[in-house]
Amino acid sequence: MPKPKKERILEEAERLFAKRGYDGVSLREITNEAGVDVALVKYHFGNKQGLFDELLSRRAKALNRERSDALDAVLERHDPAPVEEVVDAFTHTLLNKVVSEDPSWRSYFGLLAQVNNNPDWGGRAMSKHFDPLVHRFLDALKRALPGCDEADLYWCYHFWSGALTLTFADTRRIDGLSGGLCHSSDFEAVHKRLVPFISAGFRALCQKYEENDREHH
Amino acid sequence: MPKPKKERILEEAERLFAKRGYDGVSLREITNEAGVDVALVKYHFGNKQGLFDELLSRRAKALNRERSDALDAVLERHDPAPVEEVVDAFTHTLLNKVVSEDPSWRSYFGLLAQVNNNPDWGGRAMSKHFDPLVHRFLDALKRALPGCDEADLYWCYHFWSGALTLTFADTRRIDGLSGGLCHSSDFEAVHKRLVPFISAGFRALCQKYEENDREHH
DNA sequence: GTCTATAGCTTGATAGAC
DNA sequence: GTCTATCAAGCTATAGAC
């Protein structure tokens, strides 16, 4: 039994939008790749924007639940939890999906990279789907970093988000820059490094008191 | 004396491409905003891609020299220089231009944000214009972080680049996320926080030995 | 659900007059 | 350098048959 055509449209659209952005792909290209007729886009999704919105939201729900559960698991072990564990709970789920599962997740994150950096409507779209979850994580980080300034916390998340989405954009720039030493699509390498990098940033900006009474200037 | 039309095209193109990306803007929209005829694009730049390339390169040269000079100034004072000073020399120049000078620099950095996150040809374009400069900075950081792993260094730069360009994309997401506490276009606020954030990340991943013989585990 | 057929418009590009 | 005029191709969207 072949895949439903609606599903084929979604898959190809996800793949192509991730590569070239909303305006860089036409409906005809999507439907040609999917082997279906253009008119089906109207039938199933209303129009191009409707197709795109459907792409964004269909995976967001499951993803949010999964990451929320990951945070719960950390907080059950200890609350306040160490910065590293909270950061890892946020990032872990994404990078795991990219490495091991269904390759269409990779397209989805590429899509999010496009949206996150879109100055026109990307901010609103990201907020709509992910801000409630982000607030949960920032609350946990706030407890991990007592006395921290709220604005610092939000800016740290901003830097984190930028580092993460550039990774998912998979531009292959680092391949050349590093002379072949690193690879843009080596998400295991990122996984190993992103959590300590970001955690150190949070601590540097937001950690007002050392945990122990060790001497420090 | 009115501005040359060639200049007006460049200005409007920069502004619009920064907002909506290469495929999101038509030549007619650019030339309408500039109050000139479409055919002038062909005359001055050959075609749409030629116009875009000209936008990328015309400011890159001056920018690279300025940042290279900033690095020289730091290294003259001390080599190896502290991580913070090297990171600051890279970032300082950009953020200064955005805060105080000609508003078109802001458009230019918005453009770079689009390019840096473009999976299709963005990596190549960024490399072409900026990799030599980046290598100079990474060399300085390598000396500041003796014994560090090269791959770690490149990935740190990658995270840095993502954080910086999401800032320049100016998506206004942080405005809503923070409930109005932070503003996407508040580059002074970023300036204050980006350098310590990124420096801490570099140290966390790349610093193999403490500078003093202070006790640590 | 799926297709044919097409309307109506915009796109990038360009030849040629001035 | 600048404009008028136009082209061929592409686009999204949709009405209507099956």
Per-residue pLDDT for chain B (217 aa), expressed as one digit of tens each? Answer: 678 999 999 999 999 999 999 999 999 999 999 999 999 999 999 999 999 999 999 999 999 999 999 999 999 999 899 999 999 999 999 999 998 778 899 999 999 999 999 999 999 999 999 999 999 999 999 999 999 999 999 999 999 999 999 999 999 999 999 999 999 999 999 999 999 999 999 999 999 876 554 344 3
Question: Do B61 and B122 belong together in one domain?
Answer: yes
Of residues B130, B144, B156, B131, the one with CA closest to residue B74: B144
Nearest CA in chain A to B132: A177
What is the pLDDT, as a whole number, of residue B211? 57
Given a contact cutoff of 8 angstroms between Cβ atoms, the answer to whether B174 and A155 are in contact is yes
Which of A15-29, A100-114, A122-136 has the least mean pLDDT?
A100-114
Task: Tell me if chain B has a CB within 8 Å of the CB of A83.
Answer: no
Judge whether B197 and A205 are in contact, CB under 8 Å. yes
Contacts (Cβ under 8 Å, ≥6 apart) of B214: none
Q: Which of A179, A110, A162 is nearest to B153 (CA)?
A: A179
- Torsion angle defined by CA atoms of residues B24, A155, A194 and B93, in that order, rounded to the nearest 10 degrees: 70
Packing angle of the helix pair B122-144, B104-116 (nearest 10 deg): 100
pLDDT in tens, A8-46: 999 999 999 999 999 999 999 999 999 999 999 999 999
- Write down the pLDDT at residue B213: 40
Do residue B180 and residue B108 come from a single domain?
A: yes
Chain B positions touching A189 (Cβ under 8 A) are 151, 155
CB-based contact A86:A141 (threshold 8 Å): yes
Residue B51 lies in a domain: no
Exposure string (b/e) for B24-41, b if CB count within 10 Å is 16 or more?
bbebeebbebbebeeebb
Distance CA A127, CA A133 (A): 10
Q: pLDDT band for position A137 (50/70/90)?
A: very high
> Are A159 and B198 an interchain contact pair (Cβ–Cβ within 8 Å)?
yes
Same domain, B122 and B197: yes
What whole-number percentage of chain A has pLDDT above 90?
Answer: 90
**Cβ neighbourhood burial of A88 (10 Å; 0-12, 13-18, 19+):** buried
B197 occurs within a structural domain: yes
Statement to judge: residues A170 and A207 lie in one domain: yes
Determine the average pLDDT of the residues in A189-197: 97
> Could you tell me if A87 and A177 lie in one domain?
yes
Give the domain CATH number at A91: 1.10.357.10
- A32 and A108, same domain (yes or no): no
Q: Tell me, yes or no, whether B21 and B85 share the same domain.
A: no
Q: Do A186 and A138 sit in the same domain of this protein?
A: yes
In a shared domain, residues B84 and B41: no
Compute CA A129 distance to the chain's CA centroid, rounded to the nearest angstrom.
11
> Is A181 part of any domain?
yes
Rounded Cα–Cα distance for residues B8 and B19 (Å): 17
| CATH code, domain with B26 | 1.10.10.60
**Chain A environment of B154 (Cβ under 8 Å):** 174, 177-178, 181-182
Distances (CA, A) of A115 to A171, A190, B20, B89, B146: 15, 21, 11, 30, 38
Q: How many CB atoms lie within 10 A of CB B5?
A: 16
Do both A23 and A103 map to the same domain?
no
Domain check: are A84 and A164 in the same one? yes
State the pLDDT at residue B204: 98
Q: Is residue A31 one of the residues assigned to a domain?
A: yes
Confidence of residue A67 (pLDDT cuts 50, 70, 90): very high
DSSP, res B171: -
Among residues A116, A69, A92, A65, which one has the least CA distance to residue A199? A92
Asked if residue B52 belongs to a domain, the reply is no
Count of structural domains, chain A: 2
Question: Is the pTM value of this prediction over 0.85?
Answer: yes
- Assess contact for A81 and A137: CB atoms under 8 A: no
Cβ–Cβ contact A167 with B under 8 A: yes
So what's the pLDDT on residue A1?
Answer: 66
Q: What whole-number distance in Å separates Cα of residue A118 and Cα of residue A115?
A: 5
Per the CB < 8 A criterion, the answer to whether B129 and B59 are in contact is: no
Tell if A26 CB is < 7 Å from nucleic strand D: yes
Tell me which residue range forms the domain holding A34. 1-46
In a domain, A102, yes or no: yes
Cβ B3 to strand D below 7 Å: no
For tokens 């990279």, the residue is A113
Whether A175 contacts chain B with CB within 8 A:
yes
Rounded Cα gap, residues B165 and B125, in angstroms: 14
- Is B165 at the interface with chain A, CB within 8 A? yes
Q: In this model, does residue A209 exceed pLDDT 70?
A: yes
Q: Which amino acid is at A95?
A: L
- What positions of strand D are covered by protein, i.e. any atom < 7 Å from a CB? 1-6, 10-16
Q: Please compute the mean of the pLDDT values over residues A46-70 and round it to a whole number.
A: 97
Give yes or no: residues B38 and B62 share one domain.
no
Mean pLDDT, all residues of chain A: 94
Distances (CA, A) of B49 to A33, A118, B54, B62, B69: 26, 20, 9, 22, 31
Token digits of residue B81: 């220089």
Q: For tokens 């944000």, what's the residue?
A: B113
Does A52 fall in a domain? no
In Å, how far is A169's CA from the nearest CA of chain B?
6
Direct distance between the N- and C-terminal alpha carbons of chain A, in angstroms, rounded to an integer: 69
Answer whether residue B68 is part of any domain: yes
Residue B41: predicted pLDDT: 98
Dihedral, A17, A21, A23, A27 alpha carbons, nearest 10? -10
